[in-house]
Structure 1
Amino acid sequence: MIDHTGVVVSDFERSKAFYSAALGAIGYALIAEYPAAVTGDTDVAGYGEDGKADFWVARGTPNDPPVHIAFRVDTRARVDAFYRAAIDAGGRDNGGPGVREHYHPHYYGAFVRDPDGHNIEAVCHAAV
């Protein structure tokens, strides 16, 4: 079971703004932020739900190749909201909301590229 994951980004403030908007649309919030003076390495920001950060953004040289991270949500409307918020916050389209039957009949997802090219997805597995 995965406890937490994250990405390394080139422009920490721009990426925090992007992720705050995109993930805010699916119920995530910025929960913790620590400067390099505390971590001993770099600035980090943690997003999550219910007081637990499980997705982290760190200042540095972005992952190469970019990573793919999918956030599971409970409704297709949340997938749609994620996509709109991510695009409005400067994300680039990488596959708008829709069913991807090649994964399974109810796989409803949307894909965006964050400011550093990471492929960020929201997915709902519910039938409707």
Structure 2
Amino acid sequence: MPLNHSSLTLPAPKVAPLLTFLTSSLAHLGFKEHARFGPSIVGLGEETAYFWLAGILSEDVDAKTVDEVLRKQHFAFTAENAEQVRVFYDEAMKAGGVDNGKPGLRPHYAAGYYAAFVRDPVCGVNFEVLCHTAGEEEGTGS
């Protein structure tokens, strides 16, 4: 059974800058905004919204705890090939992301597993883009 949708809950003031980071670094994969409910609930995806940003009021939560929880989050998006993985990494770095794993083969995960990892500059969430089709001709990335 495939996953239908998921959401990342974060302080409402962080929704807009995280939205900018995600749409900048994943635009080449067709990732864009599809729905918005008020200023702090945004649905993103390629053809339809499946990844939601859900903003909560900061005074409702302990900010330090939220930051710690956000840094433990991980979301992975599928690319068709290694070039798309490399473009994600380059665009994410241009958008202020923090390197958490340069593009390359990760045979300890699975044969042909090619991925890049970037922490967003807003919440520190670990975003990954990966493909399972990386072959010898695509090298190990940079």
Tell me the distance in 2 between the aligned counterparts of 1:79 and 1:127: 10
TM-score calculated relative to the size of structure 2: 0.78
Match of 2:46 in 1: 49
Cα distance in structure 2, aligned partners of 1:28 and 1:126: 21
Identity percentage of aligned residues: 36
Aligned counterparts of 1:25 and 1:95: Cα–Cα separation in 2: 20
Work out whether 1:75 is the aligned partner of 2:81.
Answer: yes
Q: Any unmatched runs of 5+ in structure 2?
A: 59-65, 136-142
1:126 maps onto 2:133 in alignment: yes
Q: How far apart in 1 are the matches of 2:26 and 2:41?
A: 16
Structure 1: gaps spanning 5 or more residues? 37-42
Task: Give, in angstroms, the shift of residue 86 of structure 1.
Answer: 1.1
- CA-based RMSD: 1.7
User: Does the residue aligned with 2:128 lie in a helix, a strand or coil?
Assistant: strand
Aligned to 1:9: 10
**Aligned equivalent of 1:106, options 98, 106, 112:** 112
> Shift in Å at residue 88 of structure 1?
1.0
Distance 1:113 1:8 in 2: 16
DSSP-derived class of the 2:101 partner = coil
User: Helix, strand or coil: the match of 2:118?
Assistant: strand
Q: CA deviation at 1:25?
A: 2.5
Superposed structure 1 runs of 4+ greater than 3 Å apart: none
Give the SS at the match of 1:97.
strand
Question: Larger helix proportion, structure 1 or 2?
Answer: 2
Q: Structure 1-normalised TM-score?
A: 0.85
1:89–1:127 distance in 2 versus 1, CA, 3 Å: closer
Aligned residues: 121
Q: Distance in 1 between matches of 2:134 and 2:26?
A: 23
Aligned pair partner of 2:31 in 28, 37, 50: 28
CA contact (8 A) 1:22 1:85 kept: yes
Q: How far is the alpha carbon of 1:6 from its aligned partner? A: 2.4
Q: Which amino acid aligns with 2:42?
A: A
